Amino acid sequence: MDSKVIVITGGNTGIGLETVKALYQSDQHYHILLGGRNLNKAQIACQNIITEAAQSTVVPFLVDVESDESIEAAFDQIAAKYDRVDCLINNAGACFDAYIDQGMTARQAWNKSWDVNVTGAHIMTTKFLPLLLKSQDPRLLFITSGLSSLQGASDPENPKNIFAPAGLPKALPFVGYRSAKAGLNMLMVEWSKVLRNDGVKVWAVAPGLLATSLGGDTELLKRLGAQDPKVGGETIRRVVEGKREKDVGKVVREYVSPIQPW
């Protein structure tokens, strides 16, 4: 097919959905495979996106990145229909810190955060690599977070870094999520090295603070200055379309500075 084949996980909501919309509305031609862990929701998302005037197409597929069996089934389904994947966007992600002591233990929340944000992305990449390597211009994206920067989190001059007074209790907001996304950055670096001689271009993308349901409280995010999720979708689209070629192997963004410090 002439259209570039895009596979995206977590595509029926939040930044993933806005990324699909941005690609679908682009003047370039795409065949977008919108992955969701609930097929009905993925189907509804596609129906809401499709317009007669668009040059691109979008179809749903079922994938739960916490399940090896689900990833395997998704690959088998896609490989049976397509001879390649031109871009894999590992977007599926979640934050569970707010649920600690609200139905989840700290260990459960941390393990689930790592499983969704990091392990799932690694297994997806590993499984879909044979199709990605058949592309003439293969691209691999990991959607990270501005909260993942070690330098940013440890900078004493950063007003967002609050140093707690002595004594108990101690609060560690978003630390499970931040740790997982820092791990995702390392995963991106390792895949970038491994795939360099195969011609696969690899990035992590930090789309910015966006008002999504990721942490369970959209209104709180808005009060903290979160922007419309479509801003993140456009940022990711520009990476897919070749606007950040010189920044392969880095965490790219479009706020504060173009490269996020490690």
Specify the residue for token string 């003439």: 136
From 145, 148, 179, 192, the catalytic residue: 145
Q: Is 145 one of the catalytic residues? A: yes
Between CA 58 and CA 12 the distance in angstroms is 11
Give, as one character, the DSSP assignment of residue 137.
S
Catalytic-role residue among 21, 112, 127, 181: 181
CA 96/CA 110 separation, integer angstroms: 7
Catalytic residue among 135, 177, 179, 201: 177
Taking Cα atoms as reference points, which of 171, 190, 57, 155 lies closest to residue 106? 171
3-state secondary structure 207-221: CCCECCCCCCCHHHH
Cα angle vertex 216, ends 7, 37, to 5°? 30
Nearest to 248 by CA among 212, 173, 198, 180: 198
User: Residue 82 catalytic?
Assistant: no
State yes or no: is 181 an active-site residue. yes
> Catalytic residue positions?
145, 177, 181
